[in-house]
A and B are shown apart, each in its own frame.
Chain A
Amino acid sequence: MSSPKETGKHPGAEAGVSRRGFLEVTGVGGAVVGTVVLDQPAQAQGAGARALGPGAVPITLNVNGKALKATVEPRMTLLDTLRGPLDHTGAKRVCDRGTCGACTVMMDGKSVYACTILAIDAQGTKIETVEGLTADLKNDVLINAFVEHDAEQCGYCTPGFMVAAKALLKENPRPTFAEVEAGLSGNLCRCGTYVGLRKAVLEAAQKGRA
């Protein structure tokens, strides 16, 4: 995989900028800091669509209601782009192959694995990360229910479960126990806090707004 950590090929790294600080991203129109040399887009063949890359290309992602800009290679995943250039580290990188659910984010209101989506391909969609979905830490019914029911131990899977649970309750505000089980089936917890997680989601549903 092409994570900045593994390959050191983070576009910003070449310009001598720290990984995190490479692209200081603000709201709409936020300036891109750092000098990035873009590859020339490959020539279009026949009537085919213009091919971008393989070097870094500028992209814009709608993350938690803000248009964020980054410059990444087409092979960068949405997860690595969120966690690296865009500094949204809530979604976690664990299995990196669409199995564990720690990277779960919402795309156009549906839960998806950010590790198995290309960042360039996520343009034009509405992305919501755990940061955006849990902005009101004190009054969030689901967060309080997670705390109440010990729905976490080491906590590394928690952001993914939180987003998966939000997606579940958004679609089905009054799920049965079986529906909660099925709705969380795309997320793994190695500590085994499933009992607490399911109770928390059920309680949040009963309390109404999550």
Chain B
Amino acid sequence: MQAFTYANPKTLKEALASLAGSWDEAAVLAGGTDLLSLMKQDVYAPKKVVNIKGLKELKGMERTGDGGFRIGAAVTIDELMKNRLLGEEFPALRAAAQGITSPQMRNMGTVGGDLCQRPRCWYYRNGFGLLATGTDGKSLVPSGENEFHAILGHGNKAFFVSASSFGPALVAYGAKLKIASASGVREVNAEDFFRVPASATEREVDLKPNEILTEIVLPVSRGSQSATYEVRQKEAFDWPLVTASVMVKLSGGNVSEARIALGHVAPTPWRSKEAEQAITGKAITEASVESAATAAVAAASPLSQNAYKVQLAKVALKRALLAAKG
């Protein structure tokens, strides 16, 4: 790990003033589970680290005035998982937290950190850059070790998968993220926060070096049913192979509204409007979830070693929909 300076601001304003215009100048430190491993592997060497764990603006979980829910970005995964009210109203989010299996990780990691963590792509983690480029400027992934890479949305360029566990559930719920900078606060749809970088110098999230993700705002969940289903290689501490988060509203036994997002299949949480369309207007049955799952992966273009993820994505989505039905 390269040497750096450490700042421990007491207020959000002070924290924002401690950041800089470039990622190389300053990095935000919350739980540190991702930042420290990136720095240890010399993938990232910021000159300054700014601790935001102590900021009261980033803490707490509570109901909002309109009946939704607010989660501070520095809330730990453990705190989120154990919040009874949140778990009852947003079960897809609780299930996503439960999927982060190590107690130590849940105790340290924060909700904001889960959303802002960098991809786990082993090319990226070993210094080949976000787009895993070789000396010829092309991605090493298609002809390399790609069993955990993207099957959707990679555009034959960005083959990493978004590592966020909460991303798909937040997209399914239509959550909004609040992002602060010295010039004010802006709000972004969770769905738009994640993006496919055009170059290796861009980030895969809509965040500038001088901004801090401060809170997540969930809309009212009343009248909706939701679930997350996760497939892992092993039951213990591991990253998911595929996840599916769904939120549906039922009217007279039929789906009147659906929001569906797959995780770990694309460079972003992958919202599937095709699957939403396929299930809307229908009752949730074995047959209808099969057609929704088929629609979700119709555009998949798997790589040499990850075609198995197409089937896993279908299974995860079917089981999430059946679980949401209850």
**Residues of A near any B CB (own CB < 8 A):** 1-2, 41-42, 45-55, 57, 73-75, 77, 96-99, 101, 104, 107, 110-113, 116-118, 120-121, 164, 167-168, 181-183, 185-186
Contact = CB atoms under 8 A, between A and B. Distances in A.
A107 B78 CA distance: 14
Given A55-B3, A75-B2, 13 more contacts: A51-B6, A52-B7, A74-B4, A75-B39, A98-B37, A112-B108, A113-B104, A116-B36, A118-B29, A168-B103, A181-B236, A185-B101, A186-B105
A186 B237 contact: yes
A54 B4 contact: yes
A168 B103 CA distance: 9
A77 B104 contact: no
Q: Which 5 A-B pairs have the closest CB atoms?
A: A186-B102, A48-B18, A49-B9, A54-B3, A74-B6
Interface residues of B, number: 38
A116 B31 CA distance: 9
Interface in B18-71: 18-19, 29, 32-33, 36-37, 39-40, 48-51, 53
A118 to B, nearest CB: 7
Contacts, number: 126
19 contacts: A2-B3, A47-B14, A48-B7, A49-B15, A50-B7, A52-B6, A53-B6, A73-B3, A97-B40, A98-B37, A101-B104, A110-B107, A116-B108, A118-B32, A121-B6, A164-B103, A168-B103, A181-B236, A186-B102
A111 B76 CA distance: 13
B13 interface: yes
A54 to B, nearest CB: 4
A77 B53 CA distance: 17
Nearest to B49: A74
B233 interface: no
B201 interface: no
A159 to B, nearest CB: 14
A113 B15 CA distance: 25
B183 interface: no
Interface in B79-97: none
B200 interface: no
Contacts of B37: 97-98, 116
B133 interface: no
Contacts of A110: 78, 103, 107
B3 A45 contact: no
A51 B104 CA distance: 28
B103 A185 contact: yes
Contacts of A41: 5
Most buried by B among A46, A75, A96: A75
B298 interface: no
A99 to B, nearest CB: 7
B40 A118 contact: no
B288 interface: no
Contacts of A117: 32, 36, 108
B264 to A, nearest CB: 18
B301 interface: no
B185 interface: no
Nearest to B82: A171
A176 B13 CA distance: 46
Contacts of A168: 103
